[in-house]
Amino acid sequence: MTFGMLDRKMIRKRFYAFFVDLFIVGVTSKVLLLTYMLFIESKLRFIPLNYKRSLYENMKVVHFPLIMTLFFGLYFLSLYIGQGLSPGKAVMKVRVVSNKDPLHGLTIFEAFMRSIGGLACYMSICTLFVFSLFNKEGKGLPEWISGTHVISEEKYQEMHNQKEKPQNTFVLFENDAA
């Protein structure tokens, strides 16, 4: 399957989709940390203040792995279960499809490898995402290592509708043509 060049509109949609997903990860991590703080205050109220302070200060150690786990989990689960749609991609109407079989959802391996690639890009302070701007196909690290591609929802629907149409049909009776 050959995909065309990525235009500016698609780049913009992908960029916004990433930040919607990143926003969801950020909010979720803050909610989990707030829940942890409320747990310390309500359930551990009898321990000395210096121990509580130590628990609060050590939240910094937990925060980065928590964000990485949420980021990976959001991408992996949503891409695999959502057939190429993360929440951000659904909002921006773009979809990740397999290069081998674009009309059937991603395989578990493709979703896993794409999540690994996205995590590597995120951990590089988003600098590896720039690769998609410098090649003709608009593919970034997640696309290269997973064998996937991002297309618009309209293009996906066109491909899906073409598959549903019978290719070699003929009319036996004129009444059937109507």
What pLDDT digit, counting tens, does each position of 46-105 carry? 888 888 888 888 888 888 899 999 999 999 999 999 999 999 999 999 999 999 999 888
Rg (CA), the chain: 22
Q: What do you get for the CA distance between the two ends of the chain, in Å? A: 34
The answer to whether residues 31 and 66 touch, using CB atoms and an 8 Å cutoff, is no
Domain edges within the chain = 8-164
Rounded Cα distance between 64 and 169, Å, is 58
Mean pLDDT, residues 135-145: 86
% residues pLDDT > 70 (the chain): 88
Q: Which residues contact 44 (CB under 8 A, 6 or more apart)?
A: 52, 55
Rounded Cα distance between 34 and 48, Å, is 20
Mean pLDDT, residues 103-110: 93
